[in-house]
């Protein structure tokens, strides 16, 4: 599997559009990997994680076409991870030619929220109506935490996130070609049932991508801080959940306590992990 990070920022991107804090101003001056769009990732060329607000920009900035995307795993329905206008922007009714049918996987609450947003903004009928699915050239597959399911050539297991329960947020393990990726954002400290499920499903991760919303001197709260990130990586290693050469990457990086990319990458290297940046391919 080849993963491309289409975005690695938290909710308001980095730098934040209207913020003059030291981190945002330095990111503007430095450019490059210090400029982060809202979090999303592409696996190979057919599997998207999150139909986020910046994926089209990311697609042309980083030279990664989305025309072959057949599968989308949605973590949750917060606006920094889901822009429902994409459902229309890939439909034949809007003149789109040749897009394969999209299989969209989300928790029931997130699928319902997506349907409500689409109805409010763009379309009179429900996304959950099969006829609308036909018109939009897509199928919605509600999934539940702690279940495994097949997505084309991929095996996926969903885990409950410690995040806004109203949207039933999910974290995912994706397996293919003898490799396993864990995609873990958005979440605060992982729940006990998630740790137990890692073992029950006998998972060993080759790549761990984890929430790093708050920087080294910030406390964690609704998301992980750098310190909590380090503790999670150490626990994964101690519990035998990582392969020998596993790579651990930070994503969902906010300006709150996280310095510009080169400095954050130095901090991460001293603590045995890496910081993803937009366009990075692993």
Answer for which of 21, 79, 125, 166 binds Zn ion (CB under 5 A) is 21
For 231-267, letters b (16+ CB in 10 Å) and e give ebbeebeeeebbeeebbbbbbbbbbbbbbbbebbbeb
CA 139/CA 180 separation, integer angstroms: 25
Q: How far is the CB of 6 from Zn ion (least distance, A)?
A: 14
Closest to Zn ion by CB, 175 vs 186, is 186
Nearer to Zn ion, 52 or 279 (CB): 52
Beta carbons within 8 Å of 243's beta carbon, 6+ residues apart: 204, 205, 206
Token pair listed for 94: 């809007």
Binding-site member from 46, 50, 54, 80 for Zn ion (CB under 5 A): 80
Smallest distance, Å, CB 11 to Zn ion?
5
Give the tokens for residue 73: 């795993």
Closer Cβ to Zn ion, 80 or 83, answer by number: 80
Q: Does 24 bind Zn ion (CB under 5 A)?
A: yes
- Least CB distance to Zn ion at residue 24 (A): 3
Compute the least distance from the CB of residue 164 to Zn ion, in Å: 6
Nearest approach, Cβ of residue 197 and Zn ion (Å): 20
Beta carbons within 8 Å of 117's beta carbon, 6+ residues apart: 77, 82, 84
Number of residues that bind Zn ion (CB under 5 A): 8
Give the C-alpha separation, 43 to 269, whole Å.
25
In Å, what is the CA distance from 217 to each residue of 34, 133, 226, 232?
A: 19, 46, 8, 17
Q: How far apart are CA 128 and CA 201, in angstroms?
A: 30
70 C-beta neighbours (distance < 10 Å), count:
15
Which one of the spans 22-30, 55-63, 83-91, 203-211 is the region binding Zn ion (CB under 5 A)? 22-30
User: Is 255 near Zn ion (CB under 5 A)?
Assistant: yes
Please tell me whether residue 19 binds Zn ion under the rule CB under 5 A.
yes
What x-and-dash track marks residues 189-208 binding Zn ion by CB under 5 A?
A: --------------------
Answer yes or no whether residue 186 interacts with Zn ion by CB under 5 A.
yes
Tell me which stretch binds Zn ion (CB under 5 A): 19-27, 45-53, 114-122, 269-277: 19-27
CB of 262 to Zn ion, least distance (A): 17
What's the chain's Rg over C-alpha atoms?
18
What does the alpha-carbon distance between residue 233 and residue 2 come to, in Å, rounded to a whole number?
22
Among 36, 78, 232, 261, binds Zn ion (CB under 5 A): 78
Q: Which residues bind Zn ion (CB under 5 A)?
A: 16, 19, 21, 24, 78, 80, 186, 255
């Amino acid at each position: 599997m080849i993963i491309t990070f289409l975005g690695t920022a938290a909710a308001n991107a980095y730098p934040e559009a209207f913020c003059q804090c030291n981190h945002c101003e330095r990111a503007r001056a430095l450019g490059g990997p210090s400029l982060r769009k809202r979090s999303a990732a592409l696996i190979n060329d057919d599997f998207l994680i999150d139909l986020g607000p910046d994926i089209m920009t990311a697609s042309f900035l980083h030279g990664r076409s989305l025309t072959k995307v057949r599968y989308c795993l949605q973590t949750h329905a917060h606006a920094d991870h889901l822009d429902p206008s994409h459902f229309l922007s890939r439909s034949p009714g809007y003149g789109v030619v040749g897009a394969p049918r999209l299989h969209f996987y989300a928790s029931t609450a997130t699928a319902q929220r997506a349907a409500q947003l689409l109805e409010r903004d763009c379309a009179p009928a429900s996304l959950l109506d099969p006829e609308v699915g036909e018109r939009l050239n897509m199928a919605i597959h509600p999934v539940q935490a702690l279940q495994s399911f097949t997505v084309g050539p991929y095996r996926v297991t969903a885990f409950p996130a410690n995040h806004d329960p109203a949207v039933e947020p999910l974290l995912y393990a994706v397996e293919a070609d003898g490799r396993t990726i864990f995609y873990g954002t958005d979440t605060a400290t992982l729940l006990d049932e998630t740790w137990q499920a890692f073992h029950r499903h006998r998972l060993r991760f080759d790549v761990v991508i984890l929430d790093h919303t708050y920087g080294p001197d910030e406390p964690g709260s609704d998301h992980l801080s750098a310190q909590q990130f380090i503790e999670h990586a150490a626990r994964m290693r101690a519990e035998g959940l990582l392969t020998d050469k596993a790579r651990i990457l930070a994503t969902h990086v906010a300006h709150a306590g996280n310095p510009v990319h080169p400095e954050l990458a130095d901090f991460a290297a001293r603590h045995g992990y890496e910081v993803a940046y937009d366009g990075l391919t692993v």
